[in-house]
Amino acid sequence: MFSLHPIPALSDNYIWCLADGQSGKALIVDPGQAAPVEVYLAEHHLILDTILVTHHHPDHVGGIQALLAQHPHTRVVGPSESPYQGSTHPVRPGDEVVWQGMTFDVLPVPGHTLDHLAFFSADAINGHCTLFCGDTLFASGCGRLFEGTPEQMQRSLATLRELPGNTKVCCAHEYTLANLRFARHWLPGDLALESFEADCRAKREQGVPTVPTTLEQERQLNPFLRWDDPLVIESARQYAQRHHLRMASDADVFAAVRHGKDHF
């Protein structure tokens, strides 16, 4: 009944479309641009019904006004405490969003921005749970800390790490190959990362998105979720010594990895 598809937008964004094949209604996540959404809706004979907003950055909300001009009855669900004030249905952490019988839990994931939310549904689509995580978690990466602290981001990622392993991680950017270049630099002996990079490179050469991944895959591969992995800890310890960083907690390990990526 339901289908899930990433719509490419801007230079490397993905706007997610969740479609109900029975009703023809569509839920759109983080539309930074209106035109690609309009084209996809028209091609698939879908009716825009709901927009989810994870955070306020322009490449996530920039297309909403134009979409509402064409679809004025669309519900816009986004963080209540946010610089973006265009939500018709503001939500807070702990709330639920119901769409076509599916329930999404609203999760607080500050770090990339302070208003950042994620939307998680345990209702299965083709056997998988669904996570719309914006710019918090990427395939083999995570978002930059524009507003939050490493401690906040590590706690946010810990929240996501505890979700079921079969969860589809629907992130908002095609950053996978760049993330993998850093991950393999940080963990040069990780053969699983090497194999995953080859698979992703083949997909990109064919013009196929590398996402969604699964949370189980991210727990195994993503260095930003592996703050308690001895291999990641040792790389972080060596890096922290060279850069005079503190190493006393899981958050410090994460901070060292994030610092390494920021200066890679």
Q: Which of 20, 49, 59, 252 is catalytic?
A: 59
5 labelled catalytic: no
In Å, how far are 49, 78, 79, 126, 160 from 98, measured between CA atoms?
12, 13, 16, 19, 20
56 labelled catalytic: no
173 labelled catalytic: yes
User: What distance in Å separates the CA atoms of residue 104 and residue 130, rounded to the nearest whole number?
Assistant: 9
Beta strands in 21-153 (DSSP E): 25-29, 47-52, 75-79, 89-91, 96-99, 102-108, 117-125, 128-134, 137-138, 141-142
250 labelled catalytic: no
B/e letters for 89-122, b = 16+ CB within 10 Å, e = fewer, are ebbebeeebebbebebbbbbbbbbbbbbbbbbbe
Q: Which of 112, 115, 190, 252 is catalytic?
A: 112
Q: Which of 49, 55, 56, 71 is catalytic?
A: 55
**DSSP state at residue 6:** E
Q: Which of 60, 71, 116, 128 is catalytic?
A: 60
Q: Which of 57, 71, 116, 128 is catalytic?
A: 57
128 labelled catalytic: no
Q: Which of 30, 49, 135, 252 is catalytic?
A: 135
Active site members: 55, 57, 59-60, 112, 135, 173
